[in-house]
Amino acid sequence: MSAAPDEPAPRRTVDELRSLRRLVARLSQGVIEVDRDLLIRSVNPSAVRLCRGARLGLGEPLPEPWAAFSLREYARRLFSGPPTRAAELRVQAGGGGSGGISVWGLPPGGTDRAVLVIEERGGGRREAAEREFVTNAAHELRNPLTAITVSVEALKAGAKDDPEARERFLDHIDRECGRLARLTEALLTLARLDTGEQEPRLDVVELQPLLERVAARVTTRPGVALEVSCARDVVVVANSMLLEHALGNLVENAARYTREGRIEIVVASAGSGTLVVEVSDTGPGLPAGDTDRLFQRFVRGRGLPAGEGFGLGLAIANQTVRAVGGTLALESRPGAGTTARVTLRSGKLVTG
C-alpha cells in the first residue's frame, strides 16, 4: 500500500485516502463523519442500513433515526468541551429487530469533524476487532491529515508565491504523506492481527537507524532536547513497520507532555537474549496507580492538561508491541518524569 518514494505528495495522499475509504466501506459498522454544523461529510453503506431508511446524504443535516434517542444531540456533545473520552450508549433497534445497536463517537480533537459509529450488538471477535480498528484509525490519522491541510491552506494563502516558503511547505506535505502511508499500513496490519487473518512477519531489524527515523519525525517544545543512544550493530527480531509505529507513539507521547528538560531513547541489553528500549522524559510524571490503567483505551493520566490527546496512544503502542512479541511497561513518579520500557528479543546480524 505504501507509495513509491518519488510519487508526488498530493497523489500519495489521494491514494492512501482512497484505500482507507474502501476499507471503511466494507466495515459492518456504520461510520458517519460530521462537521460542527452537524452536516454529513462522509458515510458508509452500513450506516445507511443501520439507520433504517433515514436520509444520509453528503452535505445534508444529520438525521434523527430513532425516536427514543437523539443522534444529533449526542453528536453535538462531541464538539462541546475537552475531548478526553469517547462516549458510548445503547438504543433499541427498531423495525422488529431482535437485538439492539450501539452508538458511540470520537470527539474532533484538533480537527473540525467528529466520527459516529453505529453497530449491531454482538460479541464476536471480528466485530470487536473492526470497532477497534475504526477507533485507532480515527485517532492516529488526525495528526498527518491536519498537518497536510494546514500546509495546503498556507500555500493557497500566498506561500506558493514565495519559492523558499513553497519548498518548505511541500517538504512538510511530503513527510506527512509518508507518515500517512506508514500509519495506514500499520493500522491495516493490526486489524488483520486482531481478526486472526494474519500473523506479523518478523525479521532482523537494525535498531539504530529505526530510532533515528523516529526521532527525526518528532517535534519537541523549544528547549527540550531529544537524544538517541544506540550502538550501530544492535538488532532485534521484530516487524520493522509495527515496531517503528509503536516507538513513534511512545516518543510522541513523551514530547507532548515534556515542557522542559530532555527526552532520551536508550537501548541496553537485558540478558537472556533480550534487550530494552527505554524512552525517558522529564515531564510531569504520573500518580501512583496510573501506569497500568493507561494501557486501557480512552484513559488519560490524572492531572494532565485537558484536551491533550484522547488516551489512545499508549493503548495502541502496547497492542503493537505485543503483536511483535515484545512487552511494554511504564515507570513514573509525580514530578519525576516517565520511562517507557519496551523489551524485545535481540537478534544477530549475519554479514558476508
For the chain, what are the domain ranges? 1-199, 203-345
Q: Which residues contact 320 (CB under 8 A, 6 or more apart)?
A: 186, 190, 242, 243, 245, 246, 249
Among 14-28, 92-106, 148-162, 296-310, the least confident range: 296-310
Mean pLDDT of 167-179: 77
203-345: what fold? Heat Shock Protein 90 (3.30.565)
Q: In this predicted model, what pLDDT tens digit does every residue of 187-232 receive, in sequence order?
A: 665 566 566 555 778 899 999 999 999 999 898 999 999 999 999 9
State how far the Cα of 7 lies from the Cα of 275, in Å rounded to an integer: 37
Q: What is the pLDDT of residue 98?
A: 44
Q: Using an 8 Å Cβ cutoff, are 43 and 32 in contact? A: yes
User: In this model, does residue 38 exceed pLDDT 90?
Assistant: yes
Among 155-169, 256-270, 294-308, the least confident range: 294-308
Mean pLDDT of 57-66: 92
Among 89-98, 177-186, 320-329, the least confident range: 89-98
Q: What is the pLDDT of residue 96?
A: 40
State how far the Cα of 269 lies from the Cα of 231, in Å rounded to an integer: 11
User: In this model, does residue 307 exceed pLDDT 70?
Assistant: no
Mean pLDDT of 292-309: 59
pLDDT averaged over every residue in the chain:
77
Q: Tell me the three-class secondary structure of the chain, residue by residue.
A: CCCCCCCCHHHHHHHHHHHHHHHHHHCCCEEEEEECCCEEEEECHHHHHHCCCCCCCCCCECCCCECCECHHHHHHHHCCCCCCCCCEEEEECCCCCCCEEEEEEECCCCCCEEEEEEEECCCCHHHHHHHHHHHHHHHHCHHHHHHHHHHHHHHHCCHHHCHHHHHHHHHHHHHHHHHHHHHHHHHHHHHHHHCCCCCCCCEEEEHHHHHHHHHHHCCCCCCCEEEEECCCCCEEEECHHHHHHHHHHHHHHHHHHCCCCEEEEEEEEEECCEEEEEEEECCCCCCCCHHHHCCCCCCCCCCCCCCCCCCCHHHHHHHHHHHCCCEEEEEECCCCCEEEEEEEEECCCCCC
Strand partners, 206: 235
Q: What is the pLDDT of residue 329?
A: 93
Q: Which residue has the higher pLDDT, 236 or 147?
A: 236
CB atoms within 10 A of CB 102: 16
User: 1-199 in CATH: which number?
Assistant: 3.30.450.20
Q: Which residues contact 93 (CB under 8 A, 6 or more apart)?
A: 99, 100, 101, 120
Among 1-10, 219-228, 335-344, the least confident range: 1-10
Q: Which residues contact 208 (CB under 8 A, 6 or more apart)?
A: 228, 230, 231, 232, 234
